[in-house]
Amino acid sequence: MTALRETNFQLPGQTAFYRGKVRDVYTLDDRLVMVATDRISAFDHVLPRAIPYKGAILNQLAAYFLEATRDVCPNWLEVTPHPNVAIGQRCQPFRIEMVIRGYLVGHAARVYATGERLLCGVPLPEGMVENEAFPEPIITPTTKADAGHDQDISREEIITSGLVSARDYAYLEEYTRALFRRGTEMAAARGLILVDTKYEFGKAHGEILLMDEIHTPDSSRYFYADGYAERLARGEKQRQLSKEFVREWLIANGFQGLEGQHMPEIPDAFVQEITARYIELYEKLSGLSFHRDDTEDVVGRIERNILGALATK
């Protein structure tokens, strides 16, 4: 299996290029071309090995959910000319990520375990156990860092610092809750629980748009609904579809992205396991079969498909 590590195109009308943690982003005036590579990140670090098919899975799932939520919130996407590519409106991004959590898991659980009962200005109930549902989903925003760690931030800090106006932030909260409700409903129909996720928003021509990707394993965590209550009662780990297992593997091998820590070598077997889990999530969430594209010149085909899409606009 080969993996798409990066692209280096020079597209007609290209004015800028940005390489994110997992996407290569090409700016063409008022439009963006996003190429979802097979890079994978954890603890705000890009892992040294790319994961075959991960980019195509990420991009196709994102397109699936963006189309399924247009009635909830307008979004940036226009066309997906290749499994790894999305083209859409260029937005002026808000410099925050809207994280919403339905359950005490991951970062929230780690904070809770320290005895802290306030997360991003949101009070956390006493007496909770890991993997338990909050009385209602909580919004715990983070700053959007170009490099390094995103930082927790409260609603009040966002508004008083001028990152987002009070009026716009009210819309962001409304959209975040509505999207999470839709995502929860869609997950339940597939026998899954949407545990937590994040959304990114921006503005184009004065309108707030949902940007980037949503409800994928890079931005979301899912539990299997079957057996959830029994595992919770026994204090056992939940069966989940997310990349939390990647974080757990890294922690077990001495890496949490902290200063002085070194990224462990990732064996072939674990790379293959990550691919298998991403395919499982795609098929479980969408109900569709994932078709592996083993085209030898994948970079060339991506470029040709992008140029064809741009020529029709």
Q: Write the pLDDT tens digit of every residue in 44-80.
A: 889 999 999 999 999 999 999 999 999 999 999 999 9
The answer to whether the 16-91+266-311 and 93-245 domains have the same CATH topology is no
For 98, residues 6+ apart whose C-beta sits below 8 A from its C-beta are 139, 141, 172, 173, 175, 176, 198, 199, 200, 201
Question: Tell me: the pLDDT tens digits for 109-159?
Answer: 999 999 999 999 999 999 999 999 999 999 999 998 655 567 999 999 999
pTM score, whole prediction: 0.87
| Phi (first) and psi of residue 185, to 5 degrees | -65, -45
Q: What is the Cα–Cα distance from 309 to 12, expressed in whole angstroms?
A: 12
If the chain, 313 residues long, is cut into consecutive pieces of 10 residues, what is the mean pLDDT of each piece? Answer: 90 94 93 95 90 93 95 97 96 96 96 97 97 98 74 96 97 98 96 96 96 87 96 94 86 92 93 91 89 85 96 81
The per-residue pLDDT for 145 is 65
Question: Which CATH architecture group holds 16-91+266-311?
Answer: 2-Layer Sandwich (3.30)
The pLDDT of residue 146 is 59
Classify residue 24 by its DSSP letter.
E
Residue 149 pLDDT = 63
Average pLDDT, the chain: 93
Say how far apart CA 46 and CA 227 lie, in whole Å: 33
Residue 43 and residue 253: Cα distance in Å, rounded?
Answer: 13
Domain positions in the chain: 16-91+266-311, 93-245
CATH homologous superfamily for the domain 93-245: ATP-grasp fold, B domain (3.30.470.20)
